[in-house]
Amino acid sequence: MKTIQAYRFALDLTAGQERDVLAHAGAARVAHNWALARVKAVMDQRAAERSYGVPDEQLTPSLSWSLAGLRKAWNAAKPQVAPWWGEVSKEAFNTGLDALARGLKNWAGSRKGTRAGRPVGFPRFKSRRRTTPSVRFTTGAIRVEPDQIHVVLPRLGRLKLHESARKLARRLDNDTARIMSATVRRDGGRWHVSFTVEVERAERTPARPGSVVGVDVGIKHLAVLSTGELVDNPRHLVAAQRRMRALGRALSRKTGPDRRTGRRASKRWERSAARLGRAHARVASLRRDGLHKLTTRLAAEHGTVVVEDLNVTGMLANRKLARHIADAGFAEIRRQLAYKTSWNGGRLLVADRWYPSSKTCSACGTVKTKLAQHEREYQCAACGLVIDRDRNAALNLAALAAEFDTAGSGPVAARGADQKTRASGQVAVKREPGTAPAGQTGTVLPQGRTTNRVLTKAH
């Protein structure tokens, strides 16, 4: 099974190498800003000509927004715009132009309604001081050295890694991986190189192929499993809050930049801002590490994992819980489970966000109309069941897998809910695309909704 996978390593750059990388990132920014200014100028000119009644065939020729079109315009203008263009790799300019081409495509698709998701704004100019330095290489000499602690990139040469690249090197030596691109980026004060690799992965089977586990994520416990296991929420951001407040106060006492007067930040402000950035990067790294360990264990052990399609954006509107919800990383758990279950030969089923997993009794199926947030125990008035509400939700999620298997290739008859919870309805289960090599896929249907999709075998 071929998959696209990323390998990310920290770099130990010398002062000269860091200057070279910053020069490449600056070249990408220059190309991006020049092309964006050119696009805006052509758009404004055509709009002005239309306002004067100029026929469409006589308007100023439009500029192609594709990467090839932007690259052609840049190559024609770079001797005058950037006479130093030969000092950096052509991939630096390609990085900026590619980012602009994708931004324009997303903006156009969002305006036409052909792009799903939130509305996308028009691309903006990149600032030298506020933009994260980054450059991407897709051609040229990109390899891992035999000592496995050095990598070679075009024009940048031999760069030392902070950690061994033996996992990637082993796959390259066995011809089970092919490097497609390499991106050098500065995060939290440290430089990293990320390799996008096409990997030939061996077929795997979960340790318990027939096992089904429902996962209910939350704040008190990061995850409550239908097996009864409680995964504690480490709350890395809360633990680091005291230090971050101190660093933030120290930063506020320094002379920072002022865009209104053009004042530049002092060196002390820059050092203090770097310390605060490193603190945030450490929290993000700890959170990422914990989530990877949890999702890897679930995908490797259970054949079927069932989670909820949570409206995380709506949950963040609660100002009292927004920080804790963002710190938990609910969306990241689902994202990681989606590809890890596929890698391990399992499947991921996603229940509709309106499915009343917490309001439904896991024993008799009775659905409560209301369940207050402070009620931590579920008490069923019909059968007398008393159980932790998160455990009850996890059991209901696990039960959806049996209904999905029973349905075969048709819709599943089971309990469902809409925004105003009712006692019965029709639901099915949605599997993340690409998560099961030979599984099935469908969509959760709360009561009152319809769809023209049916559960089908995935190819």
Print burial letters for 398-413: b (CB count within 10 Å at least 16), e (below 16).
bbbbeebeebeeebbe
What is the 8-class DSSP label of residue 185? Answer: E
Catalytic residue among 20, 91, 187, 308: 308
What is the 8-class DSSP label of residue 39? Answer: H
**Active-site annotation holds for 20:** no
Hey, what are 404's tokens?
């999905």
Q: Strand, helix or coil at 60?
A: coil
Cα separation of 145 and 184, whole Å? Answer: 17
Contacts of residue 190, defined as CB under 8 A and 6 or more positions apart, other chains included, come to 10, 11, 278, 281
At 302, which amino acid appears?
H
Quick check: 12 and 162 in contact, CB under 8 A?
yes
Q: Which string of DSSP letters, residue by residue, matches 233-273?
A: ---HHHHTHHHHHHHHHHHHTS---BTTTTBPPPHHHHHHH
At 326, which amino acid appears?
A
Tokens 């630096």 belong to which residue? 92
Cα separation of 73 and 10, whole Å? Answer: 35
Cα separation of 103 and 92, whole Å? Answer: 17
Q: How far is CA 71 from CA 35, 97, 155, in A?
A: 9, 7, 20
Helices (H), 113-227: 166-173
**Segment holding 215, helix H or strand E:** strand 208-217
| Phi-psi domain of 53 (left: phi exceeds 0; alpha: psi -120 through 50; beta: other) | left
**Active-site annotation holds for 301:** no
Catalytic residue among 20, 91, 352, 390: 390
**Active-site annotation holds for 327:** no
Quick check: 10 and 161 in contact, CB under 8 A?
yes
Catalytic residue among 216, 327, 352, 432: 216
Hey, what are 185's tokens?
């980026």
Crossing angle of helices 90-112 and 15-51, rounded to 10°:
40
At 445, which amino acid appears?
L
Catalytic residues, by residue number, are 216, 308, 390
